[in-house]
Amino acid sequence: MKNNLEILKRCGVRPTPQRIAVVKYIFESKGHPDADTILENVRKTCPTISRATVYNTLNLLVAKGLLQTQILKGRTVIFDPNTQKHHHFVDDATGKVFDIPWDTLKVSQNKTLQGFQVRDYQVIMRGRRES
Amino acid sequence: MKNNLEILKRCGVRPTPQRIAVVKYIFESKGHPDADTILENVRKTCPTISRATVYNTLNLLVAKGLLQTQILKGRTVIFDPNTQKHHHFVDDATGKVFDIPWDTLKVSQNKTLQGFQVRDYQVIMRGRRES
DNA sequence: AATAAATATTGACAATGTTAAAAATAGGAT
DNA sequence: ATCCTATTTTTAACATTGTCAATATTTATT
């Protein structure tokens, strides 16, 4: 496990206790938490942290490229510490999000997409998670 | 252009003026409007319609399978009158959403997806719309 | 017309996120 | 160490998007 403090320093963000706590939770939970889940959990170790600070920190981390955002369940933003290319699977029953490795799927073009310059893409799958 | 009134009758929904106005806007605009855009535009011909009625109608149409919802730009739900399988392209600059015909792309599996029973999937592309 | 059922409206509420202003904190110069 | 400044955090208000319950209205049935 890499030092969370280092992560912040390396991208030129002052490593305040609040920020360290947020980073620690996100990078150690390895899930796809939304802002409220992050707030709740970070408050266990840093009880005074405010809603606004959590949002500020998350948006900062996104701007620095340490997190990606996704909207996959309902209308709430989730924060994804996996910044490598990957696809997603959303469980119908629970809404839980799973990362699908990039090389699991291959997307090929049958017909040319005239007039569209694709910068990025992903496959979003939905269904039942078994077992 | 199919009769909007018929659309409602055929799926057993009483065709009130409000519902007709909503259906008319969505199926004739052929875009991917969000609820507020729909509300604004429907009010041009049906000025008394309320926010709640628009939402009620939209949710009803979704339940009847006449519309699909997508969340592709920001956190707002858009309503898509195209209920056939298709992919989406989102323009980075404008946020405008384009339908991509299903057979334009082919998604194949390199590795088996153990433990995931896929009910549905789509490719979401982002980039620049040219010309 | 009288009644019952379905629908529309209003206004309050909830969830998620942003913002501005004040308070707290840290870093640097002296 | 102390003061000054810039950054960060907090608080509280606000914005957006959507839902809900109560009331009013319209429609259908008799």
pLDDT tens for residues A85-121?
999 999 999 999 999 999 999 999 999 999 999 999 9
Residues B9, B64, single domain; the answer is yes
> pLDDT tens digit string along A54-82?
999 999 999 999 999 999 988 999 999 99
* Bases on strand C under 7 Å from any protein CB: 6-12, 15-20, 26-27
Using CB atoms, pick whichever of A71, A77, A116 lies closest to residue B89: A116
pLDDT score of A31 more than 80? yes
Q: Which domain holds residue B34?
A: 4-79
B15 and B47 co-located in one domain = yes
Q: Which of residues 13-52 of B touch strand C (CB under 7 A)?
A: 13-14, 16-19, 48-52
B75 and B11 in one domain?
yes
Q: Which of A39, A56, A79 is the last residue of a domain?
A: A79
Co-location of A69 and A98 in the same domain: no
| CATH assignment of the domain containing B55 | 1.10.10.10
* Residue B24 shares a structural domain with residue B62: yes
Residues in chain A whose Cβ is within 8 Å of chain B? 71, 75-77, 89, 92, 98, 100-101, 103-111, 113, 115-131
For residue B6, what pLDDT band results from cuts at 50, 70 and 90? Answer: confident
Q: Considering any atom of strand D, list protein residues whose CB lies within 7 Å.
A: A 13-14, 16-19, 48-53, 56-57, 75; B 14, 16, 34-36, 51-52, 55, 59, 74-77
**pLDDT of A20:** 96
Q: Are residues B66 and B119 in the same domain?
A: no
* pLDDT level of residue B2 (50, 70, 90 thresholds): low
Q: CB of residue B111 closer than 7 A to nucleic acid strand C?
A: no
Strand partners, A86: A101
Tell me the residue type at A63.
Answer: A
Same domain, A94 and A110: yes
Q: Tens digit of pLDDT for each residue in B68-118?
A: 999 998 899 999 999 999 999 999 999 999 999 999 999 999 999 999 999
Q: Report yes or no: B95 and B74 within 8 Å, Cβ to Cβ.
A: yes
Q: In one letter, which amino acid is B86?
A: H
pLDDT for A5: 86
Structural domains counted in chain A = 2
> Could you tell me if B57 and B102 lie in one domain?
no
Residues B61 and B40 in one domain: yes
Q: Are residues B16 and B30 both part of a single domain?
A: yes
Among A43, A58, A79, the domain-final residue is A79
* A62 and A96 fall within a common domain: no
Classify burial at A99, counting beta carbons within 10 Å of its beta carbon; exposed 0-12, middle 13-18, buried 19 or more.
middle
pLDDT digits (tens, 9 = 90+) for B17-28: 999 999 999 999
Same domain, A57 and A118: no
The encoded tokens of residue A122 equal 């992903």
Name the residue in chain A with its Cα closest to that of B129.
A116
Angle formed by the axes of helices A51-63 and A17-29, to 10°?
Answer: 70
**DSSP secondary structure string, B41-87?**
HHHHH-TT--HHHHHHHHHHHHHTTS-EEE--STT--EEES--SSEE
